[in-house]
Amino acid sequence: MKDDFLNEPKISAWRKRLTNSGCTIHEIKPMAIYFRPDGELLFALLRAEVIDPDGRKIPPVIFIRGNACIIVPLIINSTTGKEKFIMVEQRRIATGAVTLEFPAGMLDRNINKPAQTALKELYEETGLTIQPDALVPLTDEPLYSSPGASDEGIYYYGCILTLDTDAFNSFEGRITGEASEHEYIRVTLKTRQEAEKELTSLQARLGIFLFEDYRKKANSTP
């Protein structure tokens, strides 16, 4: 185990958020730390003594995962006008089942470059390349899905692309993923109604809601 784990970007960012909120950190003890083969921190389970601004202790166990991004890509068939989300299917360890999701990825050391990571993950998981200005933030700040247990905050992005019929259909059934990281991903196209029948991921459901809210506001702007 590295002695300087507290200086890892993910852990440093978590510590900074605590102090910015007026909390005082007295002690941090590692319970389990997992590094990638290249030496980069992937996950950490820590026990921390933290005092809030009112002088009270906060529950002490934190799972450090770092921030992530989710991209909600919608493609439109230029001939038929049909609209579908580009989504991915992969088997997840939490349930063992194949899960329908949107392209996503962890920021790792790029903690201050969520949009850059979003573009990278979108291409790696679906093969879709877009210009940076086509990527639209769906939230102003990252959203925390489990702040009582994990530091993970998620940046949500969306994009809309019009494609010809061949390009539109070409995404269905693509196989992607990094085998060395045990990623086996199948790309699929879904309407909102089709996706909602299958979704078990809270993050993906929220992605649809945020995207539709963004579109509604964009269409109503004079």
> Quick count: other Cβ atoms within 10 Å of Cβ 95?
9
pTM of the model: 0.93
Give residue-wise pLDDT tens across range 139-169.
Answer: 999 999 899 999 999 999 999 999 999 999 9
Residue-level pLDDT at 109: 82
Give residue-wise pLDDT tens across range 22-59.
Answer: 999 999 999 999 998 888 899 999 999 999 999 999 99
User: pLDDT higher for 170 or 39?
Assistant: 170
Spatial separation of the C-alpha atoms in residues 51 and 108, rounded to whole Å: 27
Give residue-wise pLDDT tens across range 58-90.
Answer: 999 999 999 999 999 999 999 999 999 999 999
- Domains along the chain? 5-64 (no CATH), 68-220 (3.90.79.10)
Asked if pLDDT for residue 123 goes beyond 50, the answer is yes
DSSP string for the chain: --TTGGGSHHHHHHHHHHHHTT-EEEEEEEEEEEE-TTS-EEEEEEEEEEE-TTS-BPP-EEEE---EEEEEEEEEETTT--EEEEEEEEE-TTTSSEEEE--EEE-TT-TT-HHHHHHHHHHHHH-----GGG-EESSSS-EES-TTTB--EEEEEEEEEEE-HHHHHTTTT-EE--GGGT--EEEEEE-HHHHHHH---HHHHHHHHHHHHHHHHHHH--
Asked if pLDDT for residue 222 goes beyond 90, the answer is no
Give residue-wise pLDDT tens across range 107-120.
Answer: 988 888 999 999 99
Label residue 127 left, alpha or beta by phi (over 0 means left) and psi (-120 to 50 means alpha). left
